[in-house]
């Protein structure tokens, strides 16, 4: 039992922090725990969680994806422009946007694994290229609105449950199974722990890296399409907030930024924590700048609590108290 708790300590802390924040916010803001507001939070968490799904795979594998904002933005803009407010064109617009996101992710993976470009440089450069490309394509002012079907996927409900949350749940199950029950998941953890050792052990590092970044591009594009339905239209810069939140959700959920550890179950908790914080600070009449400060503090605290250094500290303190008690007796 102790071993199980130790192995999942970071995830448990993330969910404990989420519950504490939820209760704290409910005291500050009346109606925060109402059914309608909880549904709204679940929807907002879903967008973060879907973007962070691919980021989870990349970070576990020892990388990072900074191209997420404009992969998301490009998918949103392309779908709305191709559909032009009608549901019919979505039969090809959505597959094209998703395939485009996956292709960008694959290019990131090839650049990193095949040509040795550092992940930060590769993905940041691709992000800037996509930003410039979409500005040229749209002239800086995309005007099309989201079709009704996409709006239903983002804000519609099946019974009491938002459709986008059901989509997120399905993706969460798939991601958890992929990480825990497949050779790809085992290889990804091995590569994140030590890429050199993994390569000498027979792990197909090129394929694993490309697949991880392809998934990140795919999920960023999917989030962009869904987010367009929530805002009712695409606009330039809509993906920018999701760079920080996608990485923060993974870190808060207990994954090591250096790779080799983490789970999507933890990332879900991270997405929920960030969403609750976004609702808490306005209730306290604090600015967006304060929100960024709190984001940073939360990440530092949660990552520190989950780190091996903290575990070693508590182990040393326990042994010290044990020796002192023995000496006194």
For the domain that residue 180 is a member of, what is the CATH number? 1.10.3470
Assess whether 303 and 175 both reside in one domain. Answer: no
157: domain range?
18-24+34-285
Assess whether 83 and 47 both reside in one domain. Answer: yes
For the chain, give the longest Cα–Cα distance: 81
Strand partners, 158: 161
Judged on CB neighbours under 10 Å (0-12, 13-18, 19+), 253 is buried
- Residue 172, number of CB atoms within 10 A of its CB: 18
CA 108 to chain centre: 17
Assess whether 117 and 212 both reside in one domain. Answer: yes
With respect to residue 249, please indicate whether it lies within any of the assigned structural domains.
Answer: yes
With respect to residue 5, please indicate whether it lies within any of the assigned structural domains.
Answer: no
Confidence (pLDDT) at 7 = 61
Confidence (pLDDT) at 302 = 61
With respect to residue 3, please indicate whether it lies within any of the assigned structural domains.
Answer: no
Strand partners, 114: none
Assess whether 140 and 246 both reside in one domain. Answer: yes
Tell me the backbone φ, ψ of residue 61, rounded to 5 degrees: -80, 0
Assess whether 247 and 311 both reside in one domain. Answer: no
Q: How many domains does the chain have?
A: 2
Confidence (pLDDT) at 4 = 53
Confidence (pLDDT) at 294 = 73
Cβ pair 209, 133 in contact under 8 A: no
With respect to residue 245, please indicate whether it lies within any of the assigned structural domains.
Answer: yes
With respect to residue 199, please indicate whether it lies within any of the assigned structural domains.
Answer: yes
With respect to residue 241, please indicate whether it lies within any of the assigned structural domains.
Answer: yes
Assess whether 295 and 202 both reside in one domain. Answer: no
Assess whether 237 and 316 both reside in one domain. Answer: no
Cβ pair 181, 190 in contact under 8 A: no
| Torsion of Cα atoms, 250 then 256 then 262 then 266, to 10° | -40
Confidence (pLDDT) at 310 = 47
CA 161 to chain centre: 21
With respect to residue 140, please indicate whether it lies within any of the assigned structural domains.
Answer: yes
With respect to residue 2, please indicate whether it lies within any of the assigned structural domains.
Answer: no
Confidence (pLDDT) at 25 = 82
Assess whether 236 and 303 both reside in one domain. Answer: no
Assess whether 312 and 179 both reside in one domain. Answer: no
Assess whether 176 and 296 both reside in one domain. Answer: no
Assess whether 216 and 311 both reside in one domain. Answer: no
Q: Which residue has the tokens 């094209």?
A: 96
The half-sphere exposure of 41 on its side-chain side, counting CA atoms within 13 A, is 23
Assess whether 242 and 295 both reside in one domain. Answer: no
Confidence (pLDDT) at 296 = 74
**Mean pLDDT per segment of 10 residues, for the chain of length 329 residues?**
60 85 82 84 95 96 95 95 93 96 97 94 96 89 86 93 96 95 95 91 94 97 96 90 91 87 92 87 73 73 57 47 50
Residues 6+ apart with CB under 8 A from 40: none
Tell me the backbone φ, ψ of residue 256, rounded to 5 degrees: -80, 130
Residues 6+ apart with CB under 8 A from 111: 117, 122, 126
Confidence (pLDDT) at 37 = 84
Last residue of a domain, one of 253, 269, 285: 285
């Amino acid at each position: 039992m102790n071993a199980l708790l130790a192995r999942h300590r970071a995830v448990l802390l993330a969910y404990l922090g989420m519950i504490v924040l939820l209760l704290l916010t409910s005291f500050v803001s009346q109606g925060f725990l109402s059914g309608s507001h909880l549904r709204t939070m679940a929807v907002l968490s879903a967008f973060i969680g879907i973007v962070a799904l691919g980021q989870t795979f990349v970070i576990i594998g020892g990388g990072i994806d900074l191209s997420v904002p404009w992969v998301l933005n490009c998918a949103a803009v392309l779908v709305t422009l191709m559909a032009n407010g009608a549901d019919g064109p979505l039969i090809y617009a959505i597959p094209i946007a998703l395939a485009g996101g996956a292709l960008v992710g694959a290019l990131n993976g090839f650049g990193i694994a095949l040509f040795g470009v550092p992940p930060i440089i590769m993905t940041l450069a691709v992000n800037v290229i996509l930003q410039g490309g979409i500005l040229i394509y749209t002239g800086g002012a995309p005007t099309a609105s989201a079709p009704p079907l996409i709006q239903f996927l983002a804000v519609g409900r099946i019974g009491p449950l938002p459709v986008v949350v059901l989509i997120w749940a399905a993706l969460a199950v798939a991601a958890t199974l992929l990480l825990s029950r497949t050779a790809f998941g085992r290889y990804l953890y091995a590569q994140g722990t030590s890429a050199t050792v993994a390569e000498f052990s027979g792990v197909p590092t090129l394929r694993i890296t490309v697949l991880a970044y392809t998934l990140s591009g795919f999920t960023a594009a999917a989030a962009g399409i869904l987010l367009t339905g929530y805002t009712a239209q695409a606009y330039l810069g809509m993906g920018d907030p999701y760079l920080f939140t996608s990485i923060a959700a993974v870190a808060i959920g207990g994954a090591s930024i250096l790779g080799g550890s983490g789970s999507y179950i933890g990332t879900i908790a991270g997405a929920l924590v960030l969403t609750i914080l976004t609702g808490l600070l306005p209730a306290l009449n604090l600015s967006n700048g304060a929100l960024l400060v709190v984001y940073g503090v939360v990440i530092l605290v949660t990552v520190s609590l989950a780190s091996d250094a903290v575990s070693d500290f508590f182990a040393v303190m326990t042994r010290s108290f044990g020796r002192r008690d023995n000496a006194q007796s």
